[in-house]
Structure 1
Amino acid sequence: MNLGLDGKKVLVTGGSKGLGLGIAKLFLEEGAQVGICGRNETSLQEAKQQIPSLEIFQGDVTNEQDRQALIDAFLDRFGTIDVLINNAGGSNGTDSMNTPLAQFEESLQLNFLSAVAMSKLAATTMMTHNEGVIVNISSVFGREAGGKPTYNASKAAMISFTKSLADELIGQGIRVCGVAPGSVLHPTGNWQKRLEENPEKIKTFVEQSIPAGRFGTVEEIANTVVFLASKRASWVSGATLNVDGGQSKSNF
C-alpha cells in the first residue's frame, strides 16, 4: 500500500533508540525525510551510524530553549515540518504515597508538557501551509492503572490533550491523533531488563495479562504510527488507538 509519505519531513522525538528509532526507520522506508532528536549525543551518533540517512538533533525536550532550537534547526535543514511524532518519555517513582511530588512534576514535564510545547511549535509552521500531522505516543496505562502512577497520570493527560488539540486544528488541515502501546519488548526497554532479571515472573505476566500471549514489537507499533501519519488515515482525528494485543481491559 502506498501511504503517500514520499518526501514528507518528519521529526521524531526520543528517536535515538527503541520505539522512536523504529518509527523513524519505517518512515524512511516510506520515502520520508526524517530527523530524530534525543538528549544523549552518543545514542544519536549510534543511530546515525546504524541508519546514515537519518538527520540527528541533540536536545532536551523538557527545556524550553532546547525545544525552540530543535525546531529552528529542523526547519533550517528541511524547510518545513509535515509530521511530528511526540515519542519522548520515561517512567519514574513507585506508588503514589512514596513518590515525591517533584517526581510527578518531572513525569508531567517529560511525558506530557514537552509534547504540548512541541506540538504548538510544529503546528505554528504547519498552519502556514494548512497541512500536517501530529501523532502522540501515550500508553494503554493512560486509560487504566497498570504502570507507575506518575506515568499513568502523564499519559492520561496526553490522551485528553490529543483530542482537544485535534478539534482545534482539524479545520486548518492539521490532524492530531495518538497511539497507546501495550507492553513492547525491545533490547533497550524496561521489559527486556525485567525479563533478564526474572524470566519466570515475566512469563507469568504475559500469560495472565496479554491475550495475544506475547509482547508486542517495535515494528507493530511503528506500523500504526506511520499509517496514522499518512493520508490513508485522513479521517482519523483526535483518536488514540490501542495497539496492545488485547492487553487493555477498556472496551472503548
Structure 2
Amino acid sequence: MKRLNGKIAVVTGGSSGIGFATAKAFVNEGATVYITGRRKDALEAAAAKIGQGCIAVAGDTAKQEDIEALYDRIRTEQGRVDIVFANAGTAEYGVFGQIKEEQYEKIFGTNVKGVIFGVQAALPLMPDGGSIILNGSIVGSKGLPANSIYAATKAAIRSFARTWTTDLKQRKIRVNVVSPGPIQTEGLEGLLGSSETGQARREAITAGVPLGRMGRPEEIASAVVFLASDESSFVTGAELFVDGGFAQV
C-alpha cells in the first residue's frame, strides 16, 4: 500500500528544488498533488515532468487572491485537502546596517505572510487528522552572518508549528516543520552566485556539514513524506532537521 494513497495534497513553490522533489514523491506515494508557484511556464513544465496526479495552478502565495483561487479550484475538483506542504520561500543576504525596507517586505511577505494565509485558507477544506508541514531552515536556529531577516522568518515558521498545533488540537491536525540544511537547489545556486565570494561561501557551507556534502532535494522530500503520512501519526509540533548535522554539532 502506498503511504499517501488517495490523499489530496498542496505543495507551494512546486516548480523546482525541494517543492518539485516533494510533489514527485507525493505522487509516487499515491497522492493527487496541486503545485503552485509564480512562474507559470516553469510550473506547468514541472507538472508535465511529474506526470499524472500532478496539477499546476500558477499563483503567488503572498497574494490573497491567488491563494483563494487555488483553494476554490481544489474545493470544486476535490472537495478537500489532506496535506499542505508550505514550501514557497525566498532568501537574500542582508548585512545588518544595510537592510532595505523593500527587502524586508519581500522576504517576510513570502516566508511569513504567505505561509499564514496560505495554510489558513486550507483549513476549511482539511478533514480532521490532516497534516501540515512547514518548510523551515537551520538558519532559524543559527546565528549566521548577513541572514538576520531570512533567519527571523524561519524562526517564525518554527513558532507557527508550536502555536498551530495547540490551535488545531481539537481537530487532530498535525503541524510540523522540516528544517533543511544546505541543499543543492537552483535557489541556493542563485543566492550564492558564481563570483569568488559565492564560491567561498559554498566551500565554507560544505565544510561546515559533518557529512561533508550538501544535501539533495529528494532527501528533504523523504522527510516530508514521513511527516505527511501515518508513519508520523504521533508527531506534531516538532522540528525535523535534515541537515547533515550542520546545526546539530
Equivalent residue, structure 2, for 1:119: 119
Higher mean C-alpha displacement, 142-151 vs 198-207: 198-207
Alpha carbons of 1:61 and 1:202: their partners in 2 closer, same or farther (altered >3 Å)?
Answer: same
Seen in structure 2, the aligned counterparts of structure 1 residues 200 and 62 have a Cα distance that, compared at 3 Å, is: closer
Q: Percent identity?
A: 33
Which deviates more from structure 2 when the two are superposed, residues 46-55 or residues 173-182?
A: 46-55
CA–CA separation in structure 1 for the residues paired with 2:80 and 2:28: 20
The residue aligned with 1:135 is: 133
The amino acid that maps onto 1:22 is: A
Q: Provide the residue aligned with 2:218 in structure 1.
A: 219
Alpha-carbon distance between aligned partners in 1 of 2:135 and 2:57, rounded to the nearest angstrom: 20
2:29 counterpart residue number: 30
The residue matched to 1:89 in structure 2 has which SS? coil
1:203, CA displacement in angstroms?
A: 6.0
Q: Determine the C-alpha separation between the residues in 1 that align with 2:148 and 2:156.
A: 12
- More displaced, 77-86 or 91-100? 91-100
In 2, Cα distance between equivalents of 1:116 and 1:203: 31
Answer with 99-108 or 160-169: which moved more.
Answer: 99-108
Question: Could you say which residue in structure 1 is the equivalent of 2:89?
Answer: 89
Partner of 2:151: 152
C-alpha distance in structure 2 between counterparts of 1:223 and 1:132, whole Å: 18
Total equivalences in the alignment: 246
Q: Distance in 1 between matches of 2:160 and 2:57?
A: 26
Q: 1:169 to 1:23 in 2, by over 3 A?
A: same
- Aligned equivalents of 2:153, 2:2: Cα separation in 1: 31
- Scaled by the length of structure 1, the TM-score of the pair is 0.91
Give the drift of 1:55: 0.3
1:175 aligns with 2:174: yes
Amino acid at match of 1:106: K
Q: SS at 1:183's partner residue?
A: coil
Cα deviation code 1:22-77 (max 9, x no counterpart): 00000011011111001111111211231222100011110111111111112222
Code of the residue aligned with 1:108 in structure 2: it is F
Please identify, of 165-174 and 195-204, the stretch whose mean Cα deviation from structure 2 is larger: 195-204
Distance (Å, rounded) in 1 between the aligned partners of 2:234 and 2:245: 24
Deviates further, 12-21 or 70-79: 70-79
The alignment yields a C-alpha RMSD, in angstroms, of: 1.9
Rounded Cα–Cα distance in structure 2 between residues aligned with 1:241 and 1:29: 22
TM (norm. structure 2) is: 0.92
Q: Secondary structure at the match of 1:177?
A: strand
User: What one-letter code is carried by the residue in structure 1 that aligns with 2:128?
Assistant: N
What residue number does 1:61 align with?
61
Greater mean deviation of Cα atoms: 173-182 or 195-204: 195-204
Task: Give the equivalent residue in structure 1 for 2:200.
Answer: 201
Which amino acid letter does the alignment assign opposite residue 15 of structure 2?
A: S
Structure 1 residue runs without a partner (length 5+): none
Contact 1:170 1:237 in 2 (8 A): no
